[in-house]
Amino acid sequence: MRVDVDGASLCVDTVGDPSDPAVLLIMGGAASMDRWEEPFCERLAAAGRYVIRYDHRDTGGSTSSPPGEPAYSGDDLVTDPLAILDHLGVERAHLVGLSMGGGIVQRIAIERPERVISITLISTSPVGAGGPELPGMSDALRATFEEDRAEPDWSDREAAIEYLLEDERPYAGSRGIDEQATRALLGRVYDRSVSLPSAFNHFMLDGGEPSPARPEEIAVPALVVHGTADPLFPLPHGEALAREIPGAQLLVIDGLGHEVPAWAWDQVLPTLIAMTGPA
């Protein structure tokens, strides 16, 4: 399905009965909806949820800008999910966001609370300025940002998948990555993407002035899911969110990194299903 919004065409996928409670899944930076894997969505839909996932601009099948030249702002990534809900005729939804998607979810919950039933924040950090001082990324992950890696020939499928696979490794938790499953996932990402290098445009976006809003303004039920081995946002980020959002639940998963791999679904899904029941 295509949803046209403010000069962009977004690729959207739904699973389940539209009469069931809507759960909108919002992925992180430079990541397409493929990372909300189909079996995960199907299990959520089987529990009586109308599951919605989509490709951000510059990912998957959505509108692509030239690499290094994003034709949109960070604010557009915040309003896009609301446009998708409008297109689907969904007045209010449960929002689930991972990493950057968790930041988007927090902003919507603060700025447009009438559209939100509940929120689930996975591997993310509090939005806004003035919060507690939190630890930075791990030294090992920081070192990877300092490496001078040549990009692959993006037209070479196997070379591109190998490059992306190496990008995955530093974000995995103590269990590492399932190479076979990750290669298959990255193959789906490659095959669906209009322009893979354009996804990195997300990291060039000007965030503008820090939002004065803080998580303590969130007034809907909230679930925070965080791993003990997250190298980008160490566990204190999730703990801070759970403290700041009134009444928030905290689910800590031992060994989980900056990810939602299949081995963690049996811990994530029951709590997510409980959070996203009928309003």
pLDDT of 211 above 70: no
Q: Which domain holds residue 160?
A: 2-275
Which of 99, 118, 125, 193 is the catalytic position?
99
Kindly report whether the global pTM for this prediction surpasses the value 0.75: yes
Q: What is the pLDDT of residue 129?
A: 74
CATH of the domain at 146: 3.40.50.1820
Strands 116-122 and 93-98: parallel
pLDDT value of residue 209: 57
pLDDT category at 145 given cuts 50, 70, 90 is confident
226 is catalytic: no
Q: How confident is the model at residue 148 (pLDDT cuts 50, 70, 90)?
A: confident
80 an active-site residue? no
The pLDDT confidence band at residue 149, using thresholds 50, 70 and 90, is: confident
Give 40-71 pLDDT, tens digit per residue: 999 999 999 999 999 999 999 999 999 999 99
Tell me if residue 123 is catalytic: no
Given the residues 55, 56, 230, 237, select the one marked as catalytic: 230
Check residue 210 and give its pLDDT.
Answer: 60
Token pair for residue 82? 């609301």
Number of domains composing the chain = 1
Per residue in 110-123, pLDDT (tens digit) is 999 999 999 999 99
Q: Report percent pLDDT > 90 for the chain.
A: 91
Average pLDDT over residues 76-82: 97
Calculate mean pLDDT across residues 208-237: 90
208 pLDDT more than 60: no
Give the pLDDT band (50/70/90) at residue 264.
Answer: very high
Calculate the dihedral angle through the C-alpha atoms of 92, 80, 3, 56, rounding to the nearest 10 degrees.
-120
Instruction: Give the pLDDT of residue 278.
Output: 74
pLDDT band at 212 (very low <50, low <70, confident <90, very high): confident
Given 56, 94, 226, 258, the catalytic residue: 258
pLDDT at residue number 95: 98
